[in-house]
Amino acid sequence: MLGKLLKYDLKASYRYLLVCYCVYIALTVGFVLSVKGVDTASGVPGMVLAFTFLSLTILWGGSLIALVILTYVLVIRRFYVNLVRDEGYLTLTLPVSTRMHMLSKLLSGVFFIVLTGIVIAAGLAIVAAGLGGANVWEELAQALRSFFETFESFYGTLFFVNGVLNFIRGILLIYFSICVGQMFAKHKIWGAIGAYLGLLIVLELFVFIGSLVFGLYGGVNALVRWMYSGSTWLNTIYIIAQILIYFFLGAWILEKRANLE
């Protein structure tokens, strides 16, 4: 059943994202070509060139930010519309467990966000190739080497793993907040936003208190100690615990406390 759910979750959003990706890549190529054109333009006042360059940069940067926001909006909207709005009348009456629904939404959400990351990286590579100096590829290779070198250290790897887990936790926190919000009799969206912000504040407080308890609060040195101390494990456990709570409690709410009024 997971495969079937995933198929429909991916099909429901891919068209919109495909259009967004095409627009972003087209704007990126347009940006590179325009900036090159501005660079080689002769007889144009410097002020005009600077203004044109700035406008193009803002436009391209805006498209990049818009792509990230749109991806998140589509991922969140799919969960909301498909499970707790009108489509939920069908989705929640399918002979499929709510845990399977959560997993499908999580996997499709991760897939689309990672795909958007890859498309953005491709756009940045186009800009680097088009506008960078001769040694741009060498610099990029060096950056990648540095990135992979972090895996040579155990804590570097753990730091990366925590980043991935944090990313998953972030998506599940949104899903969980929507599940909590749907339990409200009225103002379900505000309920979800309130649940999300409330949880964020409580979690930040936990981290703050935890940092104080373990003596890790206080600037860059603390961050270094955090990275290279055994406390990173605590962080891993803390994130995994949240992932499990959001996943299973969210699925339980959809199953036992559904409220499609």
Partner 1 sequence: MTPILECRDLTKAYGKGARPALNHVNLKLNRGRIIGLLGPNGSGKTTLIKLANGLLAPTTGGIWIDEKPVGIETHKIVSYLPERTYLNMGMTVNEAIRYFKDFYADFQEERAYEMLKNLHIDPSARLKTLSKGTKEKVQLILVMSRNAQLYVLDEPIGGVDPAARDYILNTIITNYNENATVVISTHLIADVETILDEVVFLRYGEVVLHASVDAIREENGKSVDALFREVFRC
Residues that bind partner 1 (CB under 8 A): 1, 4, 7-8, 12, 15, 82, 86-90, 92-97, 185, 255-261
CA separation for the pair 250, 176 (Å, rounded):
5
User: Which CB sits closer to partner 1, 203 or 258?
Assistant: 258
Q: What's the Rg (C-alpha) of the chain?
A: 23
User: Which CB sits closer to partner 1, 57 or 259?
Assistant: 259
User: Which CB sits closer to partner 1, 12 or 136?
Assistant: 12
CA separation for the pair 105, 82 (Å, rounded):
10
Q: Least Å distance between CB 190 and partner 1?
A: 16
CA separation for the pair 91, 85 (Å, rounded):
10
User: Which CB sits closer to partner 1, 36 or 257?
Assistant: 257
Among 202, 194, 179, 2, smallest CA distance to 76 is for 179
Q: Least Å distance between CB 196 and partner 1?
A: 22
Q: Least Å distance between CB 87 and partner 1?
A: 6
The tokens of 240 are what? Answer: 């995994």
Element (H, E) at 111: helix 98-131
Q: Least Å distance between CB 113 and partner 1?
A: 21
